[in-house]
């Protein structure tokens, strides 16, 4: 039974799932896109972005070649512009068609990367950062986005706020690999050391949730950022009997997708897989849907860990008290992190959403908002409660 090496799955030894040096600019041929992104906030604020996008030239994605860094940046920019086009007029104004100026190159770039032609946490956040001071450290105060949709420092802060989480998670990813090697070798002492590293990593991850609060308050997120992160298979589309948005010049079949969310990170699924954590069938179905918005190499890593040497089975069979204690501490740490995540989503989504629903004059909007918030909170609480069990 093979132990997957993270380095074989596009996982950086220092940055984990975050690309080390994302491209900041596209070649000169794509100058119209780059200059457009500089002014996109003005176009959104004065509601001219749809007309402006239709005035763009139709550019050929083939000039990007096979450069993954450039393709990822193009995916980030094009999905961001698509979101601006779709959501600029609010939930009542969703269009049926995405213009060919965005649709055609977005589909081409996505096919080249084997990514979905829709917003992804990977390209929108993990590939969307640069250092303000190139010679300075990679810390929140020295990091900003390359592209923002609705503009402003708070959006930049929010979109980059998960970078510390991903950086911290890196040690845990490699600890998982080392732990499975220890299982294969039958070495309980080494396994206990690896599980302690994973526990410490998980405890650090919960603390990293506080970074979001430092740079973006819940009200700003809910009213300025979240509306541009909605999916294309959502109540505003359903209300118009639409199954998604049609890509002009590509296909008459609509393309749907879920919302842009940090839940698309592969990090926690890897840890669940390593510890043998099983969730309810409904939760597992939702997790499989989230995988569709992850880079294929990272999904393969999750699957490889799932199919690798079982840490849980080894701990149960050896009866080693140190290994058992370390394993159980990892389970508790994941539960604790998920509790912190529930609190964060409650602050940033549920509470402002409930307030907006109360202030709304549209009863249907109230029902949809309340239902959506309840489902999200229920899913997260369910994931937390089904984490485990610990070993006796």
Q: Backbone dihedral region of 151: left (phi > 0), alpha (psi from -120 to 50 degrees) or beta? A: left
pLDDT tens for 140-168 read: 899 999 999 986 899 999 999 999 999 99
pLDDT of residue 323: 96
- Outline where the chain has alpha helix (H): 31-45, 49-54, 68-87, 100-113, 121, 153-160, 163-185, 188-208, 210-215, 218-220, 235-238, 267-275, 281-291, 296-306, 311-318, 321-345, 351-359, 363-385
Task: Give the span between the Cα atoms of 147 and 214, in whole angstroms.
Answer: 20
Q: What is the mean pLDDT of the chain?
A: 92
pTM assigned to the model: 0.94
Residues whose CB is less than 8 angstroms from the CB of residue 347 and which lie 6 or more positions away in sequence, other chains included? 218
Query: Does the pLDDT value for residue 364 go beyond 70?
Result: no
341 carries a ligand binding annotation = yes
CA dihedral sign, ordered 295, 298, 304, 310 = negative
Treating both helix axes as pointing N-terminal to C-terminal, what angle do 163-185 and 267-275 enclose, rounded to 10 degrees? 20
Dist CA 180 CA 136 (whole Å): 36
Q: Percent of the chain having pLDDT more than 90? A: 77
Q: What's the pLDDT tens digit per position in 113-148?
A: 999 999 999 999 999 999 999 999 998 899 999 999
Using CA atoms, how far apart are residues 23 and 215, in angstroms rounded to an integer? 24
Q: Which two tokens stand for residue 20?
A: 């080390």
The tokens for 334 are: 């994941």
Whats the size of the chain, residue-wise? 392
The band of 361, judged by pLDDT with boundaries at 50, 70 and 90, is low
Residue 41: pLDDT band by 50, 70, 90 thresholds? very high
Per-residue pLDDT of 266-319, as tens digits, reads 999 999 999 999 988 888 888 899 999 999 999 999 999 999 999 999 999 998
Please compute Rg for the chain using Cα positions: 22
């Amino acid at each position: 039974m093979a132990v997957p090496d993270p380095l074989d799955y596009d996982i950086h030894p220092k940055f984990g799932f975050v690309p080390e040096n994302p491209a900041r600019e596209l070649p000169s041929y794509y100058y119209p896109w780059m200059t457009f992104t500089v002014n996109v906030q003005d176009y959104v604020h004065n509601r001219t972005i749809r007309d402006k996008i239709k005035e763009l030239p139709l550019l050929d994605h083939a000039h990007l070649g096979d450069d993954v860094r450039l393709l990822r940046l193009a995916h980030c920019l094009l999905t961001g512009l698509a979101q601006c086009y779709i959501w600029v007029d609010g939930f009542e104004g969703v269009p049926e068609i995405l213009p060919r100026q965005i649709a055609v190159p977005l589909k081409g770039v996505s096919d080249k990367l084997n990514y979905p032609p829709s917003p992804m946490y990977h390209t929108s956040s993990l590939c969307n950062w640069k250092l303000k001071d190139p010679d300075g450290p990679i810390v929140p105060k020295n990091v900003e986005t390359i592209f923002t949709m609705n503009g402003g420092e708070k959006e930049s802060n929010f979109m980059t706020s998960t970078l510390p989480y991903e950086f911290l998670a890196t040690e845990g990813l490699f600890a998982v690999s080392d732990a499975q090697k220890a299982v294969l070798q039958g070495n309980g002492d080494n396994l206990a050391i690896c599980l302690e590293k994973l526990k410490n990593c998980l405890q650090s991850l919960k603390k990293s949730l506080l970074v979001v609060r430092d740079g973006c308050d819940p009200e700003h997120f809910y009213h300025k950022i979240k509306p541009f992160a909605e999916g294309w298979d959502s109540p505003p589309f359903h209300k118009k009997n639409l199954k998604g948005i049609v890509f002009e010049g590509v296909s008459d079949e609509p393309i749907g997708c879920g919302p842009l969310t940090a839940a698309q990170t592969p990090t926690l699924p890897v840890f669940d897989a390593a510890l043998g954590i099983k969730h309810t069938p409904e939760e597992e179905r939702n997790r499989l849907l989230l995988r569709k918005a992850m880079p294929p190499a990272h999904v393969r890593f999750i699957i490889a860990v799932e199919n690798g040497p079982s840490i849980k089975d080894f701990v149960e069979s050896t009866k080693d008290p140190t290994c058992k204690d370390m394993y159980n501490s990892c389970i508790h740490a994941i539960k604790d992190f998920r509790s912190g995540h529930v609190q964060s989503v409650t602050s940033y989504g549920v509470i402002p959403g409930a307030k907006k629903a109360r202030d709304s004059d549209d009863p249907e909007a109230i029902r949809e908002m309340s239902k959506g918030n309840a489902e999200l909170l229920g899913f997260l609480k369910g994931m937390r409660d089904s984490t485990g069990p610990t070993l006796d």
